[in-house]
Structure 1
């Protein structure tokens, strides 16, 4: 009886009905999340250091692109005395960065459209339809992610060369096809889960209303997977824009060079012609489109890869 009365007179200190200010100091500290606060502080410190490691070299590259070659060599971390805008003019015309930029836009733009169309259709079929060999096809495509690309470049070169897709301006077609094959496995793997998680009732309702498979895909399912499409498009754009190994092996004519090849060629010329200002300007021209795309579509990227908040 005494034990029962004691427990009745002294309620538990972790009871939700006791106000936090009346709880013991140890429990109040736990309620404030002391350990969580320390972890959050460490988390922010690490992210701040990482952000500085990324942002500071980028800022240094940008303001260095407005300096003369002499200023770059004598005062590498100093600000330019007079901004040299002609660095960008020389980079665009004399270093042919303008031509390389156009080639890159053509190749990456065409490859992105093709791979997003084929990848979305393939992922939709594999995710929504059940047929013999479905899983075998899916895992066969995903297995392409594990295949080292450098093992395929030499056979790929001979295949495209025998098809006549590496001569003249057709060389851009061969590089585009290689880009599509390179990005397709990741696109299918990424979009498969988006289409698999879409409600079955919507497709059934569309079928009842008389919509065929193509209309259901393009008018109903594809818009619902918009966050995933935006995310994988950004990832593919970044990967293809910065691709170097494939064009290095397949794109042998200088008139077809993409930006990665043009920058390497320009850097190699610095041993004979000193134009460091033009080279830094070329680097900035190459990086700016990537930054613009990420800044514009960062919300879609976060929404596509983050957890869903819909009820």
Structure 2
């Protein structure tokens, strides 16, 4: 009994230390986002004397992070909706339907997980350029969807396989067509898995940098990670560190807020497809 209590205390202490180590850098960045450049360099670990809200205004307008933020929001929302929809269709088919070369198709989807992003950069650039989608949000969205399908299908197949086929058979007997069967019955039943897949994809696409850097060249169409990287390079020639830290806060605060609201759904979705009854 004592060993169990000691083990629980050790686990809680370890988790506390881990949370502190994660929270301190975040708090430090937020504090510096409210300082002027002089205080950031001379008093980096002190509470700001005055809150410099102008840092966020400059980061949003003068530096151009506002347009990057809006671009990232639009691209992320559209891309995640398409990924979840297409992946759910494919996962439902792979888990509930029998057809020729079913296992081969599934293996081909999973093979996409083994493709390194950097390996595909040159042919990807040439393909998007030939399609006339270079420097275009539509082209960027298509590429994000294509790269994310393998992982999402792999994840959602486990969730759809837990839905009893008897429900599908009962719906067909009641007169449900294929589309109504999927969107009215199967799609809602897989909600925990869909939310989990959406959260993982939102985090990945929101923070994606390399593909957006290669495919988008117009400044007003760049995403927030690309804009933020450009701002960091500009800091070599100017000293607006307050705007830089404000931009970093703008990049991670939406994800933190989103995760706080949906963390319960993420935990439910992470375990929903883990046990087969």
Normalised by the size of structure 2, how large is the TM-score?
0.96
C-alpha distance after superposition, 1:274-305 (max 9, x if no partner): 10001100111111110111011111001000
Q: CA deviation at 1:127?
A: 0.6
Question: Is the 2:192–2:272 contact (alpha carbons within 8 Å) kept by the matching residues of 1?
Answer: no
Q: How far apart, CA to CA, are the structure 2 residues paired with 1:174 and 1:49?
A: 43
Is 1:187 aligned to 2:152, yes or no?
Answer: yes
Which whole-Å CA distance do the structure 1 matches of 2:3 and 2:114 have between them?
40
Residue 73 (1) aligns with residue 38 (2) = no
Offset at 1:223?
0.7
Following superposition, the deviation at residue 252 of structure 1 comes to: 2.1
SS in 2 for 1:272: coil
- List per-residue Cα deviations over 1:205-249 (Å, max 9, x = no partner): 101100012111100111111111001100000000011111122
Does 2:269 match 1:301? Answer: no
Quick one: which of 43, 65, 72 aligns to 1:97? 65
Tell me the CA shift for residue 253 of structure 1. 2.2
Structure number with higher relative contact order (C-alpha < 8 Å, ≥ 6 residues apart): 2
- How many equivalent pairs are there? 276
Q: Any stretches of 5+ residues in structure 1 without a counterpart? A: 1-32
Deviation at 1:201, TM superposition (A): 1.1
Question: 2: CA distance between counterparts of 1:49 and 1:183?
Answer: 34
Aligned counterpart, 2:191: 226
Tell me which structure has the larger Cα radius of gyration.
1
Structure 1 residues 76-131: Cα deviation after superposition (integer angstroms, max 9, x where no partner): 00011110011100000001011101111121111111111101001000110011
Deviations 1:4-53 (A, max 9, x none): xxxxxxxxxxxxxxxxxxxxxxxxxxxxx333222222222221121111
Query: Could you say which residue in structure 2 is the equivalent of 1:238?
Result: 203
Partner of residue 212, structure 1: 177
> What is the SS of the residue equivalent to 1:82?
coil
TM score, norm. by length of structure 1? 0.86
Q: Is 1:290 the equivalent of 2:255?
A: yes
| Among candidates 159, 166, 173, match of residue 127 of structure 2 | 159
Q: Distance in 1 between matches of 2:218 and 2:211?
A: 13
Give unpaired runs (5+ residues) of structure 2.
none
